[in-house]
Copies of this chain bind each other. A is one copy, B any other.
Amino acid sequence: MAQPDTVTRILDTAEVLFAERGFAETSLRNITSKAKVNLAAVNYHFGSKKSLIQAVFARYLDPFTERFHRALDDLEARHARDGSEIPLEELLETMARTVLEVPAERDSLKVFMRLLGLAYSQAQGHLRGYIQSQYGEAFTRFTELVRRATPELPDAERFWRLHFILGSVIFTLSGLDALRDIAEHDYGERVSVHELVQKMRPVVVAAMQAPLPD
């Protein structure tokens, strides 16, 4: 079994350690020693630690945005034919499916979700800027479709509700393992990610369709 090359070994190790402890708490020495790679290799191949962090994200987000755009293309084309609007459920479904598909191929959903959570909360400045510049367009496209699917909602209201939901999803899936352990201990049954997404579905729809506040 030939080892994967240095760049891949660094990325594989780095994403796991970042997901476990965060960026600042993970040193290049942690990464390189666990990856069985020379310390200087990170700076040689990636330039700096910041660039390594961005590369870790790009490895997930590049395929994600590509698939996501393709999926939205399909969805739009299909509904353009009969002139109907894309229903909210289909949009949410597409988003969920794509989020799950990408890391599924490497069995790393947990890592991907933790990284998303970190990107949001640890917001290293440079990371937030990078993600916004590289992947903001996909999010903008999605929200515009959601707008057309929920014309009854005031714009500001829809904005906030989308972020409520985003919070639920990232929070839950990024703390997945810990929560799942508690749930298993307290209620005896271990849920799969698939089941969890199933549980979220009606909640998310209900959240979007909740009555307006007085």
Contacts and interface: CB of A to CB of B under 8 A. Distances in A.
B172 A170 contact: no
B175 A160 contact: no
Interface string A36-64: 00000000000000000000000000000
Given A120-B171, A172-B167, A199 B213 contact: yes
Chain A facing B: main interface SS: helix
A159 B172 contact: no
A166 to B, nearest CB: 7
Contacts of A160: 172, 179, 183, 191, 196, 199
Contacts of A183: 156, 159-160
B170 A171 contact: yes
- How many copies of this chain? 2
Contact of A201 (B156, B203, B213): B213
Interface string A172-214: 1011000100110011010100001011111101110111111
A16 interface: no
A171 B161 contact: no
A164 B121 contact: no
A179 B212 CA distance: 20
Nearest to A210: B206
A156 B191 contact: yes
A171 B179 contact: no
Contacts of A165: 168
Given A159-B186, A160-B196, A207-B207, 13 more contacts: A22-B122, A156-B183, A156-B189, A160-B183, A164-B200, A164-B203, A167-B168, A168-B168, A199-B213, A202-B211, A206-B209, A206-B211, A207-B210
7 contacts: A24-B25, A166-B171, A167-B169, A167-B172, A198-B213, A206-B206, A206-B207
